[in-house]
Structure formats: structure tokens, C-alpha cells
Amino acid sequence: MVDRYGSDVLSGDWKRPPRGRAVDLPAERGTVVEDVETGWVGAVVAVEKAGGLHVVHLEDRRGRVKGFPLGPGFLLDGAPVTLVAPKAADAARLAAARATASRTASGSVAVSGGRARVARGSRLYVEGRHDAELVEKVWGADLRVEGVVVEMLDGVDDLAAVIRDVAPEPGRRMGVLVDHLVPGSKETRVVEEARRVRPHAEHVLIVGHPYVDVWQSVKPQRLGMDAWPVIPRGTSWKHGICAHLGWPHETQADLARAWKRILASVGSWTDLEPELLGRVEELIDFVTAPE
């Protein structure tokens, strides 16, 4: 049967405002809202109690700050909201986020507003470009604060000669990071000879990680693997890795692009294996320690 009078106009939420009912919104720092009464649009920069009332301070795009009573009368993306003071849990979460943001990629406390220190005489040496780029990405901010320069060796086959040429001495220490420093390897024999160079030995620290290449110091999970594959003898290690991952590996440019993909997977020290982390930290401590 057709209802000739239609539906009841008073049924449902007939008092609902056109923009909807306001919902509570914690006044978290950075939240951009509009004050309905004045049209002021700004980001929350502070919430404080003044004269018995909670006041929210909004900063507009020109850097001007204006205070408003905390409560109803604001819009978020055109929808009405009631600003409320952040809860203790929210405040703790924000504090944790700020603490995280104040750390460098190596986990050190970031130095705000500081200038890079004039380069020290002491240096940190690594085998090649990929090692240098990885160290820069994770420890670069720390090294600039300390004034430590990273230099490339292009291999360690003649490390003893490099030490004689650099001639480290008090105030000019030399820290060296070596790939694949494991018992019985060629690198171990080279390092043993280099550590005997006199009279510079006490001003040189040579440490290494067990990985065939610095690529392997990146946690394999960052690349979707459970573990780095074992590459058969006679096969170039980097070519074998790219083949395993299904990446192009015919040219040097292919390998360079592969490294960029691996490096891009590193955001902080948590993406690296501890065997590398400990050695780099040890070298930084050595070249920055007071004589």
C-alpha cells in the first residue's frame, strides 16, 4: 500500500547539522584546523592552561600564532571537530616520536644547529666506494660533527705500503675497515703484515667484518630474503647475488644499480648486521679519542 503522506520528516537525526556532528580530536602538534568563527587556519603548536582555561595555539602559513579556547568550533578538512587536550598516552607517543626524530641514523643523539667540525688529521679508511657510501649513510652525521673524513683504499692488497705513505702519528691516527677478515683469508695475511709496520703501528687500528662484500652486511630481510645465498666458487659474488635476486647483472652499470637498491633499503643502524656495526663504532672511537 502506497503511503500517500510520505515518510515522517521528524524521523531520524533531523537536528544533525549539514556538516555533521563534531567529533573529539586530540590537539596534537602539527594538526591543521580552521577556527569557524574567525576563519583562522593554522597548525597546532602548543596547548596550555591559562586563567583556568585550556588554550590551543595555532600557527598559520605566515608564521603568525594565535590562541583559541580548546573545545568546539573548529573544522578539520571541512568537518566539525572538538579539540581536546592530548591524553597522557598520546603525549608519551609524541615524546617518543620526537626522541626518535632527534637521533641520527647511527642511533646517536643528533646535534641541532651545530656546524661540521674542521677535519681532523685522523682518517677512517675503507676498501671501496660501496663501503664509503654505506658508512656515510649511517654514520655521516656523526663523522661531520667529529670532523672525521672517510677515504677509499681501492682494495687492501698493499695496505702496508699505504700505511708507510700516510705515516700516521699522534694526532693523525689511521683506522682501517677490511672486508672478509676471517682466519685463513688473503685479507688476514695482508692485515697481519700491515700491523707490523713500524714505527706507525700504535697509531693504526685495523679491524674487519666477516662478509665477502659490504653488501652482505645489510640484513637480508631488508631485501626479502631469509639469508644471503652461498655463491659457488668461480662465480663473481656480486653477479651471483644479482642473479639470485633476479636483477640485471651483465654490466658494471647493472651492478651499480643493484648496489643503489641495496643501499636504499638501509634507513638506520638497525638495518645492518652487528658484525659491521661494532667494527665501525670501534674505528670511530679510535680516531676521535684524545691522545
Note the pLDDT tens digit of each residue in 60-82.
877 788 889 999 999 988 889 99
pLDDT band at residue 146 using 50, 70 and 90 as cut-offs: confident
Q: Which run of H or of E encompasses 48?
A: strand 41-50
Q: Note the pLDDT of residue 156.
A: 92
Give the C-alpha separation, 126 to 131, whole Å.
6
Spell out the domain ranges in the chain: 23-88, 123-218+266-288
Give the pairing type, strands 32-35 and 41-50.
antiparallel
Q: pLDDT per residue over 162-180, tens digit each? A: 999 999 999 999 999 999 9
Distance separating alpha carbons of residues 212 and 276, to the nearest angstrom: 12
Q: Which residue has the higher pLDDT, 49 or 73?
A: 73
Beta strands in 92-138 (DSSP E): 123-126
- Grid coordinates representing 79 are 568537518
The pair phi, psi for residue 217, each rounded to 5°, is -80, -10
Non-local (6+) Cβ contacts of 285 within 8 A are: none
**Distance, CA of 191 to CA of 11 (rounded, Å):** 86
What are residue 74's DSSP bridge partners?
A: 35, 81
The bridge status of strand 123-126 relative to strand 174-178 is parallel
In the chain, at which residue ranges do the beta strands (DSSP E only) sit?
Answer: 23-26, 32-35, 41-50, 53-59, 65-69, 74-76, 79-84, 123-126, 149-152, 174-178, 204-208
Q: What is the mean pLDDT of residues 252-278?
A: 94
What's the full length of the chain, in residues?
291
What's the average model confidence in pLDDT over 140-161?
91
Fold matches, 23-88 and 123-218+266-288? no
The tens digit of pLDDT for each residue in 215-227 reads 999 999 999 999 9
Lowest-confidence region among 21-35, 87-101, 156-170: 87-101
Can you give the pLDDT at residue 104? 76
pTM above 0.75, yes or no: no
The reported pLDDT for the residue numbered 196 is 92
Cα pseudo-dihedral 168, 181, 224, 128, rounded to 10: 40
pLDDT at 12 over 60: no
Give the architecture (CATH level 2) of 123-218+266-288: 3-Layer(aba) Sandwich (3.40)
Burial class for 163, CB neighbours closer than 10 Å (0-12, 13-18, 19+)? buried
- Residues of the chain with pLDDT > 90, as a percent, come to 61
**Positive or negative torsion for Cα 16, 20, 22, 23:** positive
Nearest to 146 by CA among 124, 131, 176: 124
Band the pLDDT of 54: cuts 50, 70, 90. confident
Question: Nearest 5°: phi and psi at 12?
Answer: 80, -170
Check residue 161 and give its pLDDT. 95
C-alpha cell at 38: 574567525
Residue 4: the pLDDT is: 57
Strand partners, 33: 42
Cell of 275: 658484525
Q: If residue 261 lies in a helix (H) or strand (E), which one and from where to where? A: helix 252-264
pLDDT band at 290 (very low <50, low <70, confident <90, very high): confident
All cell numbers assigned to 2: 502506497
For 95-116, the pLDDT digits (tens) are 555 555 566 777 666 655 555 5
* pLDDT surpassing 60 at residue 272: yes
Reply yes or no on domain 23-88 having CATH 1.10.15.40.
no
